[in-house]
Structure 1
Amino acid sequence: MTITLTDQDKLTVLTAAYGAVGLMSAAAAAGGSPHKVAADGSIALSSATGLVGHVLAKPKGLKLDGKSVAELADQVLPALTAAMSLLGKQNPTEADNFRSTVLVALDAAGRRHKGEPGPTMAEMARKITAALDAAR
């Protein structure tokens, strides 16, 4: 099945994925290295395959705004749900690929800490996962 994504659809997918990494990075600022968290998460996103991998490999037009974590979350969490919905309508397998790609990025970002991620990062990961699953 061929999937056709508009430029706006691609921007939604980009905002969702890279925004999720940004939220984890912001959560890490409470007790870790946000730059390393962002780098590890971004590397995971750039390793994606399939249509999602093609979209994430070219983050053109991506603009994540927010002067606070709350403002960034207001932009990213709905984009996660929207990306899952638009991919799920066209190809459920690609929606699963997107979900798994974002979760791998969260895991990569969370591993920057020794042991388990702290409560701030764990809660942010829970919110991101809930947004991914809201479209199911």
Structure 2
Amino acid sequence: MSWVRIWVHLVFSTKNREPYLNSKEIRQKVFQHIKDNAKLKGIWLDCINGYQDHIHCLISVNKDQTISTIAQLIKGESSFWINKNKLTKTKFIWQDDYWAVSVSESHIESVREYISKQEEHHKVKTFTEEVDEFMKKYGWKFVQHK
């Protein structure tokens, strides 16, 4: 029997970073739905949180899953559900892209803590500032694919 545990911090935003998730009530409904849907699809979603225009997930990827498939399953189904339940005034759409980085087993608790404090965190730093900080910290450059 194979045993695999690969932790991934997955982050994705709303289309054009629109603040569709602008109330705590909407966010809680969306997060709970994503948790429930992930469980149904065999995705180990350890924790989820976010703010008005993005979501952070800590996921353990199993041997039959890819990050791309997990992101597609979570984003596609949740946007359908949000629109079906009319949680936003206009049509809800996630941005096509996402950000994913592996997490060492020794850093799981600090990532959980970081994810759990998104509301506090974004009272002082925007999502754009956060992305720019990560890009600089890890030496990443935006790559345009044609």
TM exceeds 0.5? no
- Judging by fraction of residues, say which structure has more strand: 2
Give 1 or 2 for the bigger CA radius of gyration. Answer: 2
